[in-house]
Each structure stands twice: as C-alpha cells, then as structure tokens.
Amino acid sequence: MLFKWKIIGLVTLYFLVVGCEYYPLYGPDSSRAGYINETDITVSGNLDPEKLQSVLQDQFGKTTENINYHLTVDFKISDEGGPIQGSGGVNQHYAVGKAEIALFDLTSGELLYTDTVEERAHWFSSEQVLANLDARDDALNRLRRIISDRIYSSIIAIQRQPRGAA
C-alpha cells in the first residue's frame, strides 16, 4: 500500500512540475547558460566597488566577444553603526549595504530587470584597533558576497526567450 502511494506521489509531482513550466536554473538548458561569459558588469559606489565587481565576475564569468547583456550595480554602504556595548570589552558593529541593479539586453536595448537589494553584516571587536579593522573588512567582504549572491540568483531566475525565438 505504501509503495502505491509513493508512485502516486511521484506521478503527481511530475505533472505539477511539468504544469508549472519548471525551468532548471543550472545545466545546459538553464537560463543561467545565457548569462555566463556574456554579461558586462559595471559597479559604482562609495566603498571599493571594484571588490563587488570582482565577486560578480566570479559568478557571471569573464566576458568574451559575445557581450549580450550589461549589468549596472550602484552599491553603497547606506548605514554603519556601533559599537553596541557588549560584555567583557567586546562590541558589536554592523554595516548595511544597498545595491540598485539594472540588467539590459544590449541587442534590443531593453531593460530586462531592475531591483534593489539590501543586506547587512555584523562584526564583533575588542578595543584593539587592528583587530577591529580586520573584523570590519571581513564583514564587508561577507556583505559583498551576500549581495552578489542575491543579484546573481535573481537574474538567473529570469525566464527569457532563447535567442532567435519569436
């Protein structure tokens, strides 16, 4: 009896996935394949925009001759606070990063996607200046990676027509 319900569940899942027009995000037929090595990236901002651009290029790949998309990102640290007094001389700090993103199709000039991504990162420090600076740098690098992951995931989830389709 249990085996029968497993079969019914698998068949139902199959039809739900097919009925929802499920598109895989990874693999040779995914929407991700169209953006890899075809997306030019420009990042501006108030705190080392080159570092965020480098993280995004790790995900989108280095551009080749076939540049079909342009991603613009305006990344700013919109709020930074602390120290929030902790116990034993350990303080908590935070930084909030905000990225305004826009993805353009260069062949048609069409704006494909726009969004605002906001994330925060925390770090703890003691009274030592160098330790505090290292902890802050680590937190800002984590913040860049988190924002980059959110941007990348949002863009590859866009359902788009394959090139040449009407």
Answering whether pTM is above 0.85, one says no
Let me know: does 124 contact 95? Beta carbons within 8 Å: no
pLDDT value of residue 42: 94
Give the C-alpha separation, 30 to 34, whole Å. 8
Return per-residue pLDDT of the chain as tens, 166 residues.
667 777 777 777 666 655 555 555 555 555 566 777 889 999 999 888 999 999 999 888 888 788 989 999 999 987 777 666 666 677 788 889 999 999 999 999 999 999 999 999 988 887 777 778 888 899 999 999 999 999 998 888 775 544 444 4
pLDDT value of residue 149: 92
Place of tokens 């003691």: 126
Name the DSSP class of 137. H
Q: What's the pLDDT tens digit per position in 7-41?
A: 777 777 666 655 555 555 555 555 566 777 889 99
Look at residues 146, 76, 70 and name the one whose alpha carbon lies nearest to residue 113.
Answer: 70
Q: Which strands form 91-105's sheet, in the order they lie side by side?
A: 39-45, 69-85, 91-105, 111-125
Topology of the domain comprising 33-156: Double Stranded RNA Binding Domain (3.30.160)
Phi-psi region of 145 (alpha: psi -120 to 50; beta: other; left: phi over 0): alpha
Give the C-alpha separation, 78 to 4, whole Å. 56
Helices of type H across the chain: 2-19, 32-35, 49-60, 129-156
pLDDT value of residue 108: 92
Give the C-alpha separation, 116 to 113, whole Å. 10
